[in-house]
Amino acid sequence: MFLPRIIPLLLLKNNSLIKTKKFKESKYIGDPINAVKLFNDLLADELIFIDLDASYGRKEISYDIIEKICGEAFMPIAIGGGIKKMNQIEKLIKIGSEKVVINSSVVKNMIFIKEISESFGTQSLIISIDIKKKYLGKYSVWIENGKKDTKINPTEYAKRVEEHGAGEIIIHSIEHDGMMNGYDLKITKEVSNSVNIPVIACGGAGNYEHLKSAYFVSNANALAAGSMFVFHGQRKAVLINYPSRKEKEEIFKI
């Protein structure tokens, strides 16, 4: 039975794990190395780490903690956070990252996608597209951690990044981020149906039904979530969790 990838997306700040809501308020989760060990035991398909300090431009990615994370992980790791230069990517891949996640820098320099894919292969590059719904139901691409509206249509932008050599796309809803009330299925489906590369749904997952809907309704190829895999119960106690193989088969059975 084919099963889509289920990917915990984890945020780093000051070398600690945090979780945000709508890209703003954040909550301390714990130690990233311990989280990786737990996801190893739970047989997670992949992990994505985003260094928020680097995303905000406060500093470059914390290579020391990333090297420890990659050294501990049994699964593929993707790393993002303020990546603007080829030497940053070369360093991340050298210390164990299999993929890099790029966001704001490629909006300003689309040729960067081509340079990365030609040097490291399309399979190494994920373009993250942060989106918000505007008035009259229109969507646009936002950059700089949801602070700046580019006024670019996400579907048209997704086509462009595919043409330039992106290997995968993350569609991340800012409004749904951390709310645990489900993905934005409409825009995810629109983007998924417009490109031929894998699309990862992100932002809003709170239960297994949300994963199922993103796969069968929006046609996402993979499903990323944060809160769902670090919180448990109505009080949202911190507890690393991940579905077992049997649970995955139940989620996606037809």
Would you write out the chain's pLDDT as a tens digit for each of its 254 residues? 689 999 999 999 999 999 999 999 889 999 999 999 999 999 999 999 999 988 877 688 999 999 999 999 999 999 999 999 999 999 999 999 999 999 999 998 999 999 999 999 999 999 999 999 987 889 999 998 889 999 999 999 999 999 999 999 999 999 999 999 999 999 999 999 999 999 999 999 999 999 999 999 999 999 999 999 999 887 889 999 999 999 999 999 86
Q: Would you tell me how many other CB atoms lie within 10 Å of the CB of residue 46?
A: 20
The answer to whether residues 52 and 12 touch, using CB atoms and an 8 Å cutoff, is yes
Q: How is the chain split into domains, by residue range?
A: 5-252
Q: Catalytic residue positions?
A: 130
The answer to whether residues 224 and 202 touch, using CB atoms and an 8 Å cutoff, is yes
Pick the CATH number of 5-252 from 3.40.50.300, 3.90.78.10, 3.20.20.70, 3.30.300.30: 3.20.20.70
